[in-house]
Amino acid sequence: MDALRSDTGALPAASKATDPLRHRALRRWHWIHTWSSQVCTLFLLLICLTGLPLVFSDEINNWLEPHTYVSLPDNTPRASLDRLAETGHRMYPGQVIDSFFIDDDEPQVYLWMVPSFEALKADPKVMHFIRFDARTAQVLETSKSLEAQQHSFMGVMLTLHTELFAGLPGELFLAVMALLFVMAIVSGVVLYGPFMKKIDFGTVREGRGTRLKWLDLHNLLGVVVLAWTLVVGLTGVMNELSVPLFGLWEQTDVARILSQWKDAPNIPITELSSPQAALETAQHAVPGNVVTSLVYPRPLAIGNSAGPSQYLFWSHGASHLRARLFDPILVNARTGQLSLVATMPWYLRALEVSRPLHFGDYGGLPLKILWALLDVITIMVLTSGLYLWIARRRTRASRLERILAVHEAANATRALRMPGAV
Amino acid sequence: MSMPMHWRKVWTAPGTLALLTMTGLLSALLGEAIAWKAIAWTFLAVPVLATLWYTCIKPTFYRTKR
């Protein structure tokens, strides 16, 4: 905001007389800092406030809807996906399976179903799930519709945080806001140096006016959380660009890979090979990975699949470092043979690495608490910046009023002193 | 060549905080062992503690001494 001006309201240190070029550069940086932060502050405040509950989303979800499981030995084998698919078809006759999600944290498997792929294309909210115990194949839960889930407390927080209920345009808009936030941080760092030449780090000048105190607090808190805000801001930009980045991958690498099966006919459900056997084939293809999801074959036009003839599996690394890096595996849905293991391009790897650095969910509950505290400090930086901008506008207005009053008083006195005045 | 005095005065504390924060951010990402996580918790706690020190503790307890 208006934070890097000194208490007199002038830019510090580089005086006009000694170094006019430097003074001009500082004015330019000050302009960038003021306007980049002013444009994004309110949206950033919304993002920081909605981000607070999202940091603890696992804990809040477990508290709102606790998941309980029957106690079984750790080495109990998982139920076959074939059995879960049969149960799904029995529960929702006439519907088709969209995908399986095999949770590697809890002993549960989600089976997603849709009335038909045409209905899914027309309205993605027709998707619904059945949650199974991964070991006993017992049905634990059947879902509300996607629309109802979106209107839950955490759903509202997530949608506001990521897209402002505006879909892809909302995501792109928030990406621009995050980019402006990064610009505000960088320009703030450039201005911090000249400003702090005369005072010690951590100085908060109290007793010399509220505005000066908040100016010092804004600069102090801003520089204390600098590295964290920069990382979370940049990774936020990456996350908001996930749809276009995946779109780019689908139009380039994926289109090239799938072109060999583009004319393959749709496989009737009765002719699909066993999903459990396909899962085992995929798991053998990536021995160091854990397979966590299976997308059924469907027409290419619907997207997010490997076309009408292939099962698409997603796996991630088993080691901590590779746990967020996903690799797709294709298995022929008619023969059950391995088709290929694809590699992700660098920009999607960058997106995958940026996710934990944005969510703060990779170091247990203490890290989440620290994440929330750093978020609160950022909220203080944003609100103090907003206050400084408003206070400065008020100061300017009152200064103008004082000057006008003095001017009018002087005019009145002069009029009285003029010869002939009564 | 030594750094100018004012540069050191201005940037030593923020630079140290930024380095600690980055180490904290990366450590838990690199390893699952509790030691890695402990490094992350400790180093990321530093900016939070610095905020607490300069905004609450120091103004409250050191105002009369100055």
Residue A371: closest C-alpha in chain B: B44
> Quick one: CA dihedral A147, A152, A154, A156, positive or negative?
positive
Rounded Cα gap, residues A383 and B51, in angstroms: 16
Position A260 in a domain: no
B8 has a chain A CB within 8 A of its CB: no
Helical spans, DSSP H, in A210-254: 210-224, 226-240, 242-249
Q: Is A422 helix (H, G, I), strand (E, B) or coil?
A: coil
Position B5 in a domain: no
The number of beta carbons lying within 10 Å of the beta carbon of residue A48 is 22
Chain A contact probe: residue of B51, B56, B60, B63 with most A CBs at under 10 A: B51
Distance from CA of B45 to the nearest CA of A (A): 7
Distance from CA of A253 to the nearest CA of B (A): 28
Tens digit of each residue's pLDDT (9 = 90 or more) over B24-56: 999 998 888 899 999 999 999 999 999 999 998
Q: B20, B30, B47: which is closest to A363 by C-alpha?
A: B30
In chain B, residues with a C-beta closer than 8 Å to the C-beta of A363 are 28, 37, 40-41
Position A371 in a domain: yes
Helix (H) or strand (E) holding A142: strand A139-142
Rounded Cα gap, residues A380 and A213, in angstroms: 13
Residue A330 CA neighbour count, 13 Å, CB half: 19
Distance from CA of B2 to the nearest CA of A (A): 18
In chain A, residues with a C-beta closer than 8 Å to the C-beta of B39 are none
Residue A321: closest C-alpha in chain B: B30
Residue A104 CA neighbour count, 13 Å, CB half: 12
Which member of A193, A202, A362 has the closest CB to residue B54? Answer: A202
Q: What is the pLDDT of residue A407?
A: 77
Is the CB of B10 less than 8 angstroms away from the CB of A192? yes
Query: In the block, which residue shows the tokens 């006993």?
Result: A136
In chain A, residues with a C-beta closer than 8 Å to the C-beta of B41 are 363, 366-367, 370
The ipTM value here is: 0.91
Q: Average pLDDT by consecutive 10-residue portion of chain A (422 residues)?
A: 46 57 86 93 96 95 90 92 96 94 94 91 89 96 74 90 95 97 95 87 86 92 96 97 94 88 81 95 94 89 77 91 91 94 94 95 94 97 92 79 80 74 52
How deeply is A307 buried, as exposed, middle or buried, from its count of CB atoms within 10 A (0-12, 13-18, 19+)?
buried
Rounded Cα gap, residues B18 and A227, in angstroms: 5
Position A294 in a domain: no
Rounded Cα gap, residues A302 and A88, in angstroms: 22
The number of beta carbons lying within 10 Å of the beta carbon of residue A21 is 8
Query: In the block, which residue shows the tokens 């997106």?
Result: A351
Q: What is the pLDDT of residue A160?
A: 95
B14 has a chain A CB within 8 A of its CB: yes
Which range of residues forms the domain containing residue B27?
17-61
The number of beta carbons lying within 10 Å of the beta carbon of residue A379 is 17
Position A222 in a domain: yes
- b or e along A153-189 (b: 16 or more beta carbons within 10 Å of the residue's beta carbon)? ebeebbbbbbbbeeeeebbbebbebbbbbbbbbbbbb
Position B49 in a domain: yes
In chain A, residues with a C-beta closer than 8 Å to the C-beta of B44 are 228, 367, 370, 374
Is the CB of B51 less than 8 angstroms away from the CB of A225? yes
Position B30 in a domain: yes
Residue B47: closest C-alpha in chain A: A224
B52 has a chain A CB within 8 A of its CB: no
Q: What is the pLDDT of residue A267?
A: 85
Distance from CA of B35 to the nearest CA of A (A): 11
Is the CB of B18 less than 8 angstroms away from the CB of A204? no
Rounded Cα gap, residues A380 and A386, in angstroms: 10
Distance from CA of B21 to the nearest CA of A (A): 6
Chain B contact probe: residue of A229, A370, A378 with most B CBs at under 10 A: A370
Residue A270 DSSP symbol: G
Count of domains forming chain B: 1
Rounded Cα gap, residues A160 and A164, in angstroms: 4
The number of beta carbons lying within 10 Å of the beta carbon of residue A335 is 11
Query: In the block, which residue shows the tokens 């703060």?
Result: A360
Position B51 in a domain: yes
B54 has a chain A CB within 8 A of its CB: yes
Count of domains forming chain A: 1
Position A212 in a domain: yes
Position B11 in a domain: no
Which range of residues forms the domain containing residue A232?
20-58+157-239+364-414
Position A379 in a domain: yes
Identify any residues that bridge with A142 across adjacent strands, giving them in sequence order: A130
Q: B42, B37, B16: which is closest to B27 by C-alpha?
A: B37
Position B22 in a domain: yes
Q: What is the pLDDT of residue A8?
A: 43
Position A46 in a domain: yes
Rounded Cα gap, residues A56 and A53, in angstroms: 5
Distance from CA of A215 to the nearest CA of B (A): 13
